[in-house]
A and B are shown apart, each in its own frame.
Chain A
């Protein structure tokens, strides 16, 4: 503590510290931006191939449904559309829950995958790992099953002790299906 605490010293030291630190962070940001973006893209692509049948290419599009804008990827194999991977976000127990929902052209859910979640570890976070819960979304047909958790009179088996997360998950799938419908009704997708 050799330096006196007068105004000049304090301003100088704080100023220089902040300057050096922000320069450092700016540099780090520039360096890591590319790998971070790459990781995000890779993750999205992995999610798309998980929730849809085999495809050769995807096209990124947007559609609005119920006042919200949904990002989705139209997957095609040759000239035929094999399905749509729709990103859908709802609020879970611990924050936003974002899913990738794969819907085939006949309106059946092909599969779902969690893009990001902040649910309670060991409870709601199981929506990402619980095999029984995840398996029921494969081939979920909204025309023959009711899309809400069993507690609310639907056909979805909730995760043990995580009804709120299960509801949010179901809601996200429901929203994605709504988006799918409005994308078919006239197909007014704004690319």
Chain B
């Protein structure tokens, strides 16, 4: 029995990474996806920040869901999510000021990231705390990986560097890839590759 429960949880995490990948399959949370992935590091930190909020809010919401009246469930969820986001903001400001500076603007926007509210609505309010935590972890990791890959591709093409390590000397990269149009282009091609790869398997 216990083995089954365990594998079930692993499956939840795996689903979030591949089958329910928020960026390449569900196409959720496009605003931070397109805006923060100008470099691999930015994508990675944005993904991790969302992961943090997603796991905690999923857990909190699955715990309080049974006592929340139907008609006010959205406001209650938003308050819970906003609390975790603000908490994260305080922590980042205090302990990772450099990272906070790069992502500053997008941290408060995690509140309205549809992935977080989407998982609360679609999963957390119907499942237990532990399962919801796994779901949050899976989807969060999926988001983190997608953002890092997208950021890496854009950084290599746009600035000629990877994770901040420059390999084309003093030359400029293809600037378009750092800007919004490049984000759409990269996302489109990565989505094609991802779907091809997943369908094959």
Contacts and interface: CB of A to CB of B under 8 A. Distances in A.
Interface stretch (A60-68, A120-128, A181-189): A120-128
Q: Main secondary structure on chain B at its contact with chain A?
A: helix
A36 B89 CA distance: 11
B175 interface: yes
Contacts of A39: 93-94, 97
Given A21-B83, A25-B83, A122 B72 contact: no
A122 B80 CA distance: 35
A4 B83 CA distance: 25
A59 interface: no
Q: Main secondary structure on chain A at its contact with chain B?
A: helix
B95 A35 contact: yes
Interface residues of A, number: 32
B56 to A, nearest CB: 11
A121 B39 contact: yes
Contacts of A121: 38-39, 42, 102, 178
A150 interface: no
Given A1-B70, A3-B66, A21-B79, A32 B178 contact: no
A6 B73 CA distance: 13
A18 interface: yes
Interface string B60-97: 00001111111111011001101100110011011101
B155 to A, nearest CB: 9
A35 to B, nearest CB: 4
B32 interface: no
14 contacts: A1-B66, A1-B68, A2-B66, A3-B66, A9-B69, A13-B72, A14-B75, A17-B76, A21-B80, A25-B83, A29-B90, A39-B94, A121-B39, A122-B38
A135 interface: no
A20 B65 CA distance: 15
Contact of B72 (A10, A25, A36, A118): A10
A39 B159 CA distance: 30
B158 A122 contact: yes
Minimum-distance CB pairs A-B, first 9: A122-B178, A35-B94, A5-B71, A121-B38, A21-B83, A32-B94, A5-B69, A32-B90, A39-B97
A39 to B, nearest CB: 4
